[in-house]
Amino acid sequence: MSEPSDLERIKRTSRCLRGSLRESLADPVTGALRADDVQLLKFHGGYQQDDRDLREARRLAKLEPDYSFFLRLRLPGGVMSPAQWLAMDAMARRHGSRGLRLTTRQTIQVHGIEKGNLRAAVQAIHAAGLDTIAACGDVNRNVVAAVNPLLSRVHARIFEQAQALSLHLRPKSRAWQEIWLDEPPVQPEESEPLYGDAYLPRKCKIGFAVPPDNDIDVYSQDVGLVAIIENGELAGYDVLIGGGMGATHGDAKTHPRLASPVGFITPGQVTALAEAALTTQRDHGDRSERRHARFKYAIDDRGVAWIKAEIERRAGFALQPAYGFAFTQRGDRFGWREGGDGRWHLGLRIPFGRVHDRDGVTRQTGLRAIAALLAERAPDAQIRLTPNQNALIAGVPKVLRERIDALAIEHDLALHRTATLLARNAIACVALPTCGLAMAEAERWMPDFIPKVQTLLDKHGLREEPIDLRVSGCPNGCSRPYLAEIALIGKASGRYNLMLGGDHRGQRLNALYRENITEPEILVELDALLARFASEREPEERFGDFLVREAVVAPPRSREDTA
C-alpha cells in the first residue's frame, strides 16, 4: 500500500481546518501564507496565487512573487439577491483587483485580494448573508442546479433541494467562523461527523439537471441528479455517478469520464444518496496519488456495480431502475422570457464570466446599476449565475424591463442581441495570469481568437451555426472542454491540443485530433474541417456529430464498454 500524500497529513493534523491560518494571516513579513495553510485556505474558499505576468521580473529583482488571493463563494444554484450582488460588487471594488469572475460552477470568484485584506473581504461576504465555506478543497463543492427555477414549481423545488444539500454537506467545523469572524474557539474541539478528520481524498461535485436542458453538464459531475418530471410534478431523479474532466498530459491513468447512470431515487432519498456516495468516495478513494483520487477512478477501479451496491448498502435502500431522460440542449438561454408567474427573466451573455470595468467596457457598472434598480424597486428579484459563466436577471416585473434594457445596452450587456452563436456559447477558463496551473492562455486569448474562428464560419456560410467551443489553459478542464464539439487544451505557451467531436447536448466526450499546435495551425485545421462540414453535412447535422459520423475522430468508448 502506498504512503498517503502529504495533503492527508495536513488535513489530519489541522484540527478541523484551523492549522496555523490565524498566525499565517497575521505575519506581516510576507504576502504569502505558510505552506500548509495555503492548502487549508482552500477549504475556507480561498486560494493563494501570484501574478504570473510579473513572476520572472520579480524573481530577477530578487523580490518575492506578487502574492494575492482569490475568494470563491459557496452559492448553491447560483442565486443571489440584488442586495447581495451589490455587496459583492462593493467588496470586489474595495479589496480585489479584477472585478467579479462568474465561474463554470455558478458562483463568483474575486481575484487579487491582498493577504491583509482577506479577513475584511470574508467579513463583507458574511455580512451579506453569504459564505465561502468549502468552495474549494477536498469536500463537496458548490452544488449546481439547472438555471431559472422561477419558471416552474418543479425548478423551484430542485433549487431548494440543491441549497439544502449544500448546507447538509458543508463541513461542520467552526474554523471558518473562528478565523474570519473572530468567533470564540469551540471547547472541547469538534469533529467532522460526515467527513472525518481527513475529509475527502479529493473534491466532490454534485449537480441537479432538469431535462430537456443539460446546462449543468450533468455527465461531468461526480454525482449527477437528473429530474424526472411526471404530470408537472417532480417524481424523483435518475442518478449518474463518476463524471469528471481533469486529466494530466502524458499520464495514461488519468482521463475525463462521463458519469454512469445507476438508477432512480425519490426526492426524499437525495440526502441519503449523496451522503452514501460521498462516504463511499471518502473510504475508497485513493489517498496516496492525488491525480488518481477522484470518485471516477474509484469507480473505474472497483466497477460501477460494486460502487452502486456500496452506495445502496450505506444509504439503506436499493436504487430503482433508471427512468431515462432526453436532453435537447445545453448552454444558456439569452434574452427575455416570461415566467409562469408573469415575472420576466433576462439571460445576459457575460463573456467568459468577467464582470470588470476595463478598456472602455463598463459591465461591472452596468450590472451594479441593474442590481441597484432591482434592490429599490423589486428586492425579491434575483441575480442568478449560470454554469456557463453567464448571468440571469430573474423575477423582474414587466414595468422595469425597459429600464433594464437601456442599462444593458449602455453597458455592453446586450450581447445576446449582437453576438453570433459561437461567441455567445464559447467558454474559457481563467488561466493566465492568475491560475498557477495554466500552461497557455484561455480567457485572455478569446477576444482575439473567437473573431478568427467566426471568420472561418462566415467564409463557409456557417455564420449562425451553433458550434460549442471551449478552451482550457491546461488539461484540468475547468471549462469542461472534453464535452465540447471543438476544444483547445493548453499544452505550452501558445500551443494547444485540438480535441473534436463532443456532442451539443454534453453526452459524448471528444477526442484528440491534433497535438501541441499553434493558433495558425488550429485555424488551418478548422478551415478544412468546416469546409467539409458545409458541403457534406446531413440536414440539421451538428458539427460534432458530423466529425464522428465521418470518422474524423473516434470518441472514447465509455468505461463500462471497456470494463
Residue 430 engages ligand SF4 in binding (rule: CB under 6 A): yes
477, 490, 501, 502: residue in contact with ligand SRM (rule CB under 6 A): 477
Burial 522-531 (b: 16+ CB within 10 A, else e): bbebbeebbe
The nearest distance, CB 254 to ligand SRM, in angstroms, is 7
The nearest distance, CB 343 to ligand SRM, in angstroms, is 27
Enumerate residues 6+ apart whose C-beta is below 8 A from 56.
none
Question: Is the CB of 416 or the CB of 470 nearer to ligand SF4?
Answer: 470
Residue 474 engages ligand SF4 in binding (rule: CB under 6 A): yes
Q: Which stretch binds ligand SF4 (CB under 6 A): 179-187, 401-409, 454-462, 471-479?
A: 471-479
Residue 470 engages ligand SRM in binding (rule: CB under 6 A): no
Cβ pair 450, 422 in contact under 8 A: yes
The secondary element (H helix, E strand) that includes residue 233 is: strand 233-241
By CB under 6 A, what part of segment 378-397 binds ligand SRM? 389
Cell of 511: 477526442
Residue 473 engages ligand SF4 in binding (rule: CB under 6 A): yes
Residue 483 engages ligand SRM in binding (rule: CB under 6 A): no
Q: Which stretch binds ligand SF4 (CB under 6 A): 105-113, 156-164, 388-396, 432-440?
A: 432-440
By CB under 6 A, what part of segment 432-451 binds ligand SRM? 434-437
Identify any residues that bridge with 47 across adjacent strands, giving them in sequence order. 70
Gap between the Cα atoms of 304 and 311, Å rounded: 10
Identify the residue whose cell numbers are 463543492.
141
Residue 105 engages ligand SRM in binding (rule: CB under 6 A): yes
Burial 15-35 (b: 16+ CB within 10 A, else e): ebbbbbbbebbeeeeebbbbe
Gap between the Cα atoms of 97 and 122, Å rounded: 16
Cell of 64: 518575492
205 binds, among ligand SRM, ligand SF4, none (CB under 5 to 8 A by kind): ligand SRM
The nearest distance, CB 298 to ligand SF4, in angstroms, is 22
The nearest distance, CB 278 to ligand SRM, in angstroms, is 15
* CB atoms near residue 418 (< 10 Å): 11
CA 224 to mean position of chain CA atoms: 14
Q: Report, as residue numbers or ranges, the catalytic residues.
A: 72, 141, 203, 205, 429, 435, 474, 478
The nearest distance, CB 108 to ligand SF4, in angstroms, is 15
Cell of 70: 482569490
75, 467, 478, 499: residue in contact with ligand SF4 (rule CB under 6 A): 478
Nearest 5°: the CA angle 9, 10, 13 is 80
The nearest distance, CB 476 to ligand SRM, in angstroms, is 3
What x-and-dash track marks residues 377-416 binding ligand SF4 by CB under 6 A?
A: ----------------------------------------
Reduced to 3 states, what is the DSSP secondary structure of residue 218?
Answer: helix
Gap between the Cα atoms of 191 and 196, Å rounded: 7
Cβ pair 44, 81 in contact under 8 A: no
The nearest distance, CB 435 to ligand SF4, in angstroms, is 3
Residue 240 engages ligand SRM in binding (rule: CB under 6 A): no
Residue 107 engages ligand SRM in binding (rule: CB under 6 A): yes
Gap between the Cα atoms of 291 and 246, Å rounded: 9
By CB under 6 A, what part of segment 193-212 binds ligand SRM? 205
The nearest distance, CB 291 to ligand SRM, in angstroms, is 7
Beta strands per DSSP E along 18-107: 46-50, 67-72, 79-80, 100-102
- Listed residue (3, 42, 200) closest to 135, CA to CA: 42
Nearest 5°: the CA angle 442, 292, 75 is 55
Question: Is the CB of 146 or the CB of 245 nearer to ligand SRM?
Answer: 245
474 binds, among ligand SRM, ligand SF4, none (CB under 5 to 8 A by kind): ligand SF4
Residue 478 engages ligand SRM in binding (rule: CB under 6 A): yes
What x-and-dash track marks residues 38-77 binding ligand SRM by CB under 6 A?
A: ---------x-x--------------------x-x-----
Residue 35 engages ligand SRM in binding (rule: CB under 6 A): no
* CB atoms near residue 179 (< 10 Å): 22
Residues that bind ligand SF4 (CB under 6 A): 429-431, 435, 437-438, 442, 472-474, 476-478
